[in-house]
Amino acid sequence: MVSKNQIKLIRQLEQKKFRRRDGLFVAEGPKVVGDLLRAGFQPTAVYATEEWGGAEAVFSAGDSNVSDSIMLVGDDELRKLSFLQHPQQVLALVPIPESTREVSVHGLCLALDGVQDPGNLGTIIRIADWFGISTIFCSEGTADAWNPKVVQATMGSIARVNIIYTNLARLIDSAQVPVYGTLLDGEDIYTQPLSSEGLIVMGNEGNGISPDIRSRITHRLLIPTFHTGDTAESLNVAIATAITCSEFRRRNRH
Q: Is the dihedral angle over the CA atoms 202, 204, 207, 211 positive or is it negative?
A: negative
Second-level CATH architecture of 108-251: 3-Layer(aba) Sandwich (3.40)
Give mean pLDDT, residues 206-229: 92
End-to-end CA distance of the chain: 55
Identify the pLDDT of residue 106: 84
Outline which parts of the chain fall under CATH 3.30.1330.30.
4-95
| Percent of residues, the chain, with pLDDT higher than 70 | 93
Predicted model pTM: 0.91
Looking at domain 4-95, does it have CATH number 3.40.50.970? no
User: 89 Cβ partners below 8 Å, 6+ apart?
Assistant: 29, 30, 48, 49, 51, 52, 78
Identify the pLDDT of residue 66: 65
Identify the pLDDT of residue 254: 64
Residue type, 233: E
Outline which parts of the chain fall under CATH 3.40.1280.10.
108-251
Among residues 21, 22, 46, 18, the alpha carbon closest in space to that of 33 is found at 46
| DSSP state at residue 158 | G
